[in-house]
């Protein structure tokens, strides 16, 4: 199974490519909307990109909506990986 | 306004030009390519695998790096045609020296049309959707590339424009309808200025539409020698891509700003032939030109040049030549730019007007590239064969489209 650290690195790489972001700015505390400039359409595409990258289904809408920072996203994906 | 009150129509002028064309980005590359008599048509070897397609020719916009010109947040909802429109619009606004305050005031609107939404985006969507009817992995921006008003919506967003947003969608008359609409809106005082034009992109399915009705050129081994408008040996259309955008503005606004004025739009004619969905109709073409001249208050004898729609089809070229003879006369110089950069469809009316405005600037007439042996049935007009110095003041621009649409407008050098 992929380590948590490797997963986090892969998340940063995937989103940096998808949204043309600078990986240096994708710190754990960076907020997706305010700091990284994503919006509601990007949130939809983020789920599509992550599902494709990790071959997992992200269907918990409530949990997805509560994600504010990169770290929130890491924790959410790690919890799914470990299920 | 009380009953019987007279409405004073505003004069409308052109103060900015922008282009993304088969020659590349910018008005300069378009103008340089045309004045060099250089063909922008090339063979499309990747189309040879398409069963039934006989035409492997196109005049595509050369590859460029859109990332360096538009931020991702704007590009994510743009197919190629919207990218072209946004770049051309920015160039036109800069050329007109319209500042941000005016641009975002609500007094400036947009009318940019195209044949359809982006065919490239359609292909991407249906490649994913059709094999197993799945929409997984479809990105959120796809619809916005496909919708009919993709160009004008994306241009408004990219430039912060809050005025009227229109998208005349009528295939090959989209840009000329947009110019006509902008003319009417500014005349009526609804908008101070309008970004007007059209866009389209090269795609095998688009060329395929013409091939199906046997109207596409199939001279695949001699790409730069076709299309051949008005020539007895023409064999059809070559499709191109790009976007032309013009800034139309009230004369009062342009004068108050001290803007450079390329030309005044004097009149607009727009009729349907209501005869056949595909075949050209010469008396309706003549009626469009006649209406434009009447709207302009210009006599046919005052016209110094007609820029023909002529795409290189037998039916279309002969009908148009006959119509010009009927509406304008047989001594007025005529040429078509389709031989240079193909038929850019929804962009044709505006890209060709960019070149026409340059003709007014230089007082030179551009001939029809690839015209070697004029069809005797096109002898009702004075076909230009070389770049000629001419006194050019009043000019007519024609655009015609499948669906029976016939558009003409009249401009005068100011």
Please report, in tens digits, the pLDDT of each residue of chain A (83 residues total): 789 999 999 999 999 999 999 999 999 999 999 999 999 999 999 999 999 999 989 988 899 999 999 999 999 999 998 88
Tell if the CB–CB gap between A41 and B76 is shorter than 8 Å. yes
Residues of A in contact with B136 (CB under 8 A): 48, 51
Mutate to test the interface with A, among B73, B135, B153 (most CBs of A within 10 A): B73
B295 vs B6, more confident? B295
pLDDT given at position B138 = 93
Nearest to B333 by CA among B354, B311, B359, B315: B359
Q: Is there a catalytic annotation at residue B343?
A: yes
Which DSSP category does B240 fall into? B
CA nearest neighbour of B21 among B395, B397, B345: B345
Contact B198, B114 (CB under 8 A): yes
Distance CA B60, CA B201 (A): 7
> Any residues with CB less than 8 A from the CB of B103 and at least 6 apart, and which?
B93, B159, B160, B161
- Identify the bridge partners of residue B240 per DSSP, sorted by sequence position: B59
Residues 15-74 of A with CB under 8 A from B: 19-20, 37, 39, 41-42, 44-45, 48, 51-52
CA distance A37 to A57: 25
Q: Are B242 and B27 contacting, i.e. CB atoms less than 8 angstroms apart? A: no
| Mutation site for A-interface testing, chosen from B67, B70, B72 by largest number of A Cβ within 10 Å | B72
Nearest to B408 by CA among B231, B289, B259: B289
pLDDT value, residue B380: 84
Question: Coil, strand or helix: which one is B349?
Answer: helix
| DSSP letter for each residue of B193-220 | EEEEEEEE---HHHHHHHHHTT-B---T
First to last CA, chain A: 12
pLDDT digits (tens, 9 = 90+) for B345-358: 999 999 999 999 99
In whole angstroms, give the CA distance from residue B384 to residue B381: 9
Cross-chain Cβ contact B140/A45 below 8 Å: yes
Given B149, B203, B281, B309, the catalytic residue: B309
Distance separating the N- and C-terminal Cα atoms of chain B: 32
Average pLDDT over residues B82-111: 98
Please tell me which residue in B149, B151, B156, B172 is annotated as part of the active site. B172
Minimum-distance CB partner of A41 among B67, B136, B140:
B140
Nearest to A45 among B67, B136, B139 (CB): B139
Position B3 scores a pLDDT of 58
Q: What is the mean pLDDT of residues B27-49?
A: 98
How many angstroms separate the CA atoms of B24 and B31, rounded? 11
Determine the average pLDDT of the residues in B43-50. Answer: 98
Q: Given this model, what pLDDT does residue B1 score?
A: 46
Token digits of residue B129: 């959707």
- The whole-angstrom distance between A17's CA and the closest CA on chain B is 11
- Which residues have a Cβ under 8 Å from the Cβ of B313 and sit 6 or more positions away? B215, B234, B236, B237
Q: Select the residue from A14, A45, A54 to test the B interface by mutation, using most B Cβ atoms within 10 A.
A: A45
Active-site residue, selected from the candidate residues A4, A39, A42, A71: A39
Is B382 within 8 Å of B58 (Cβ atoms)?
Answer: no
Average pLDDT over residues B222-251: 98
Give A51's contacts in chain B (Cβ within 8 Å). Answer: 136
Residue of B236, B230, B237, B234 lying closest to B374 (CA atoms) = B230
Average pLDDT over residues B146-166: 98
Predicted local confidence at residue B61, as pLDDT: 98
pLDDT at B270: 98
- Mean pLDDT for the stretch of residues B173-192: 98
Q: Could you give the CA distance from residue B89 to residue B74 in angstroms, rounded to a whole number?
A: 14
Dist. CA B135–CA B127, nearest whole Å: 10
CB contact under 8 A, B139 and A48: yes
User: What 8-state DSSP symbol labels residue B5?
Assistant: P
Residues of B in contact with A39 (CB under 8 A): 73
- Chain B CB contacts of A48 under 8 Å are 136-139
- In 3D space, the residue among B248, B206, B259, B282 whose CA is nearest the CA of residue B350 turns out to be B248
Sign of CA dihedral B97, B101, B102, B106: positive
pLDDT given at position B309: 98
Residue B137's pLDDT is: 87
The DSSP result for A3-35, as a single string, is -HHHHHHHHHHHHHHHHT--GGG--TT-BTTTT
What mean pLDDT, rounded, does chain B reach?
96
């Amino acid at each position: 199974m992929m380590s948590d650290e490797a997963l986090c690195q892969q998340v940063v790489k995937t989103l940096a490519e998808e949204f043309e972001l600078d990986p240096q700015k994708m710190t754990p505390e960076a907020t997706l909307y305010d700091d990284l400039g994503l919006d509601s359409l990007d949130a939809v595409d983020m789920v599509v990109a992550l599902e494709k990258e990790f071959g997992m289904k992200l269907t918990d809408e409530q949990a997805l909506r509560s994600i504010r920072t990169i770290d929130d996203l890491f924790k959410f994906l790690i919890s799914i990986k470990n299920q | 306004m009380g009953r019987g009150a007279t409405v004073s129509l505003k004069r409308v002028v052109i103060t900015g030009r922008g282009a993304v064309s088969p020659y590349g980005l910018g008005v300069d590359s378009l103008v340089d390519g045309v004045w060099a008599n250089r063909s922008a048509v090339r063979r499309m070897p990747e189309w040879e695998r398409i069963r039934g397609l006989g035409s492997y020719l196109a005049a595509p916009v050369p590859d460029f790096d859109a990332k360096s010109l538009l931020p991702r947040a704007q590009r994510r909802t743009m197919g190629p045609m919207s990218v072209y429109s946004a770049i051309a619009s920015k160039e036109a606004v800069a050329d007109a020296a319209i500042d941000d305050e005016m641009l975002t005031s609500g007094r400036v609107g947009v009318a940019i049309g195209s044949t359809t939404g982006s065919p490239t985006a359609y292909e991407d969507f249906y490649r994913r959707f059709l094999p197993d009817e799945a929409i997984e992995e479809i990105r959120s921006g796809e619809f916005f590339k496909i919708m009919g008003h993709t160009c004008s919506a994306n241009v408004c967003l990219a430039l912060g424009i809050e005025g009227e947003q229109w998208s005349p969608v009528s295939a090959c008359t989209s840009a000329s309808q947009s110019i006509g609409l902008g003319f009417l809106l500014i005349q009526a005082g609804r908008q101070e200025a309008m970004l007007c034009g059209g866009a389209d992109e090269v795609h095998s399915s688009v060329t395929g539409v013409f091939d199906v009705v046997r109207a596409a050129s199939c001279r695949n081994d001699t790409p730069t020698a076709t299309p051949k408008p008005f020539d007895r040996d023409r064999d059809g259309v070559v499709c191109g891509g790009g976007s032309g955008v013009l800034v139309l503005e009230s004369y009062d606004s342009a004068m108050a700003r001290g803007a450079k004025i390329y030309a005044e739009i004097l009149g607009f004619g727009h009729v349907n032939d209501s005869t056949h969905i595909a075949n050209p109709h010469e008396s309706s073409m003549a009626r469009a030109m006649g209406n434009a001249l009447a709207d302009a208050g210009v006599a046919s004898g005052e016209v110094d040049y007609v820029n023909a729609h002529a795409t290189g089809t037998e039916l279309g070229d002969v009908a148009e030549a006959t119509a010009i003879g009927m509406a304008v006369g047989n001594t007025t110089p005529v040429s078509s730019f389709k031989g240079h950069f193909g038929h850019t469809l929804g962009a044709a009316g505006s890209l060709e007007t960019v070149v026409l405005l340059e003709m007014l600037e230089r007082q030179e007439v551009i001939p029809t590239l690839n015209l070697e042996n004029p069809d005797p049935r096109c002898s009702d007009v004075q076909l230009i064969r070389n770049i000629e110095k001419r006194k050019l003041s009043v000019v007519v621009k024609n655009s015609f489209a499948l669906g029976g649409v016939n558009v003409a407008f009249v401009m005068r050098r100011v």
